[in-house]
Amino acid sequence: MKRPYKIRHEFVEFVPRVREAGVLYVSIPYATAVHDCFCGCGTKVVTPISPVGWQLTFDGESVSLSPSVGNWSFACRSHYFIRMDIVVWAGDMSEDEIAWGRMRDKAAREGHFGGHVEPLASPKAEVAKTKSRGFWSWLTGGR
């Protein structure tokens, strides 16, 4: 696993087109934090800040972003936390764990913005239920 390392944050209104490596750009007006993947692959990572998305903490000197950043759709599959301007690497997750996390996030968004929410059981039980109903059926609520 990679070693933790220090980054810097920069509060901006608009994220620059050309981003500097090792910088987390935070736009409060647009409730978004953006950076190039901290693995070094250069892929742009966008983390919307909201009650059901990522949450940003500024302690007057450093920033933390929660929950972790899991770049599962990228070739690098990087997974890390940002804690007090430090990138702390996390391990890879299985496809079942990723699917469960995505279901949990979808349920949180539906609960926050209104809509049908089913309580989530364990990751394996939820993934098994999704596989038995089919992915598209799950997305559409069985419609």
Answer whether 86's CB lies under 8 Å from 79's CB.
no
Q: Enter the tokens of residue 43.
A: 């892929």
* Cα-Cα-Cα-Cα dihedral sign, residues 78, 90, 130, 120: negative
71-122 residue pLDDT tens: 777 788 888 999 999 999 987 777 777 676 767 777 776 766 776 655 555 5
Residue 108, phi then psi, degrees to nearest 5: -65, -45
pLDDT of residue 112: 62
The model's pTM is: 0.70
Listed residue (83, 30, 41) closest to 59, CA to CA? 83
Tell whether the model's pLDDT for residue 61 goes beyond 80. Answer: yes
Mean pLDDT of the chain: 80
Q: Find all residues with CB under 8 Å of 117, minimum gap 6, and list them.
A: 107, 110, 111
pLDDT tier, 70 (very low <50, low <70, confident <90, very high otherwise): confident
